[in-house]
Amino acid sequence: MLDIRYIRDHAEQIQQTADAKGIGLSIVKLLEVDEHRRALMQEIEQLRHGRNRASEKIGGLMESGNKAEAERLKAEVKWNNETLKRLEGQQAQVETAYIELMRLVPNPVSEDTPPGQSDADNVEIKRVGEKPDFAFAPRDHVAIGEALGLFDIPRGVKMAGARNYVLKGAGFRLHRAVQHLAMDVLEEAGFTPMDVPMLVREDALVGSGYFPLGRDQTYALADDNKYLVGTSEVSLAAYYGDEVIDVGKPVKLAAMSACFRREVGSQGRDVRGLYRVHQFSKVEQVVLCANDPGLSERLLQEITGNAERILQLLELPYRVVSVCIGDMSQKNYKQYDIETWMPSRESYGETHSSSNVHEFQARRANIRYRDADGKLHYCHMLNNTAIATPRILIPLLENHQREDGGVYIPKALRPYMQGQTELKPEG
């Protein structure tokens, strides 16, 4: 959420950002509602002031015997109360409309955010690692996983419908191993590990910027008025909601959790395998810091570097792209995606994302800190997907496959895999 004063002063820029991000919002309409809201508030305040002054005089007039003037003021107070009741009803409706429109306002983007309409317009910043040059016909992760008994997609679909799966045996251990490796990397980098709720109230999703626009992607438990989150970023961002915190040093939080996503609008896309599924697991980084653009930019580079470090430990080739405005969500000020090479797709596929949202989430969640002079400011907040699985199993299996049907296990994962150096086909 943005300061309404900023929106008034930058209306054209905000409208352009909303259009570029594909958000159906009229800033003109918002400002009209805001003007009506302010006019009502002023009128209500004047009426309350007049009513209170009249009420104060009535007692004195009655004592002095000036009953006529007292009765006139009583009639005035009655009229004020009736008018106030009507105007306060209007104000409640206008306030609701105002809040609904404010929750659609996008975060402005950084000056170095590329223009564009989709991920096809994202700009590559760098590539790391060499793509494998197989001397045999490589298989995709589904064929590898089925041959090695790592997962069972048909039975997952039988139990839960499309885009579901079962991980088993070494597949389950691999799934857990990459998560534990990521958490260890983040703890070493100064992050506090946390286990947070995956079932949250609506205000947690509003505060983190996932509602209202992401509502159709979220599983709802209507009877309980709660929702399953698609990332622990929601819970981590809500952790300090309505608090004044100490950001003398950046606050670094990390959570390993299950996540859920409805995948509305993805029918027919990535239907084979583990790329786009309804239930998955992520290790998420969230950072809160002082309201300093230079500091939050440095922290964006840091959390992106943490994710890169994990991919390097997994010995996987990847690239980093600067995300264009049309591929960014409402909340993001600046975003990098990390895409890992997936041989079966003959392309890089998104596996990580890093975002600097400046004070957008902190305003919505009301998270503040005091500066050296005691003045309150909204924090800057950042987030990054350190690892997401089972998607990361796609490049892990495909890049490290061997001609004999086995899969090489990177050295960094072996301590989490009971010392295994490779996955071998049976027989």
Query: Does residue 286 lie in a domain region?
Result: yes
Please indicate, yes or no, whether residues 394 and 261 belong to a single structural domain of this protein.
yes
Please indicate, yes or no, whether residues 72 and 133 belong to a single structural domain of this protein.
no
**Residue where one domain finishes, among candidates 61, 77, 102:** 102
Query: Does residue 49 lie in a domain region?
Result: yes
Residue type, 427: G
Please indicate, yes or no, whether residues 96 and 179 belong to a single structural domain of this protein.
no
**Residue 427: which pLDDT band, with cuts at 50, 70 and 90?**
low
Tell me 105's DSSP state: P
Residue 31 belongs to what domain range? 4-102
pLDDT reported for residue 56? 75
Choice among 284, 302, 350, 359 that is catalytic: 350
Helix, strand, or coil (residue 205): helix
**Residue where one domain finishes, among candidates 58, 76, 102:** 102
**0.85 surpassed by pTM:** yes
Please indicate, yes or no, whether residues 179 and 78 belong to a single structural domain of this protein.
no
Task: Give the separation between CA 108 and CA 246, rounded to whole angstroms.
Answer: 26
Q: Which residues pair with 353 in a beta bridge?
A: 337
Choice among 139, 163, 173, 261 that is catalytic: 261
Q: Per residue in 11-59, pLDDT tens?
A: 999 999 999 999 999 999 999 999 999 999 999 999 888 787 777 777 7
Query: Does residue 393 lie in a domain region?
Result: yes
Query: Does residue 109 lie in a domain region?
Result: no
Question: What domain count does the chain have?
Answer: 2
Closest CA to 123 of 372, 328, 401: 328
Asked if the model's pLDDT at residue 195 lies above 90, the reply is: yes
Q: Per residue in 201-246, pLDDT tens?
A: 999 999 999 999 999 999 999 999 999 999 999 999 999 999 999 9
Query: Does residue 156 lie in a domain region?
Result: yes
Average model confidence (pLDDT) across the chain: 95
Please indicate, yes or no, whether residues 85 and 184 belong to a single structural domain of this protein.
no
Please indicate, yes or no, whether residues 15 and 128 belong to a single structural domain of this protein.
no
Choice among 72, 276, 309, 414 that is catalytic: 276
Greater confidence, 277 or 425?
Answer: 277
Please indicate, yes or no, whether residues 214 and 82 belong to a single structural domain of this protein.
no
Choice among 208, 296, 329, 353 that is catalytic: 353
Query: 276 catalytic, yes or no?
Result: yes
Please indicate, yes or no, whether residues 276 and 369 belong to a single structural domain of this protein.
yes
Task: Give the separation between CA 234 and CA 356, rounded to whole angstroms.
Answer: 15
Query: 391 catalytic, yes or no?
Result: yes
Residue for token pair 């009249």: 54
Please indicate, yes or no, whether residues 71 and 123 belong to a single structural domain of this protein.
no
Query: Does residue 400 lie in a domain region?
Result: yes
Query: 350 catalytic, yes or no?
Result: yes
Query: 201 catalytic, yes or no?
Result: no
Task: Give the separation between CA 166 and CA 172, rounded to whole angstroms.
Answer: 9
pLDDT reported for residue 65? 75
Please indicate, yes or no, whether residues 86 and 155 belong to a single structural domain of this protein.
no
Please indicate, yes or no, whether residues 64 and 128 belong to a single structural domain of this protein.
no
Residue for token pair 């590329």: 114
Asked if the model's pLDDT at residue 179 lies above 90, the reply is: yes
Strands of 376-378's sheet in order across? 243-244, 367-370, 376-378
